[in-house]
Amino acid sequence: EVQLVESGGGLVQPGRSLRLSCAASGFTFDDYAMHWVRQAPGKGLEWVSGISWNSGSIGYADSVKGRFTISRDNAKNSLYLQMNSLRAEDTALYYCAKDSTWRVQGLFDYWGQGTLVTVSS
């Protein structure tokens, strides 16, 4: 059974940093691209970032480019999102999502339960 478990969310002040983690199990992690997708309270879904199976291809939404960094550790079956210079508009539930293929295609066949990030003073 595929499981994606996010952690690292919390309350943080504007301008500060936070690092999210996603622990994956139930599939061959290094065969698939992985993504972060977020959902602000009461709002729709927004793709944040994606990384290919070998970290060779990485993409970011314009809204986070230059502030967020995605990475993965295939030896630990883990995905990360380093979030710097956080803003109030980054407040959201952050989902870890598995891609259906090795490349950054953006078709999400499994999702974690999400970790909540609240940016507020």
Partner 1 sequence: DIQMTQSPSSLSASVGDRVTITCRASQGISNYLAWYQQKPGKVPKLLIYAASTLQSGVPSRFSGSGSGTDFTLTISSLQPEDVATYYCQKYNSAPPGVTFGPGTKVDIK
12 or 52: whose CB is closer to partner 1? 52
CA distance 4 to 83: 19
- Rounded to the nearest whole angstrom, what is the least distance from the CB of residue 75 to partner 1 in the complex? 25
Least distance in angstroms from the C-beta of 99 to partner 1:
9
C-alpha distances (whole Å) from 33 to each of 29, 65, 79, 114 are 8, 19, 10, 18
57 to 116, contacts with partner 1 by CB under 8 A? 59-62, 95, 100, 103-109, 111-114
CB 120 within 8 A of CB 11: yes
Window of 7-15, 20-28, 46-54, 73-81 that interacts with partner 1 by CB under 8 A: 46-54
In eight-state DSSP terms, residue 113 is -
Nearer to partner 1, 31 or 109 (CB): 109
Q: Note whether 82 and 60 are within 8 A (CB).
A: no
The footprint of partner 1 (CB under 8 A) covers 35, 37, 44-47, 50, 59-62, 95, 100, 103-109, 111-114
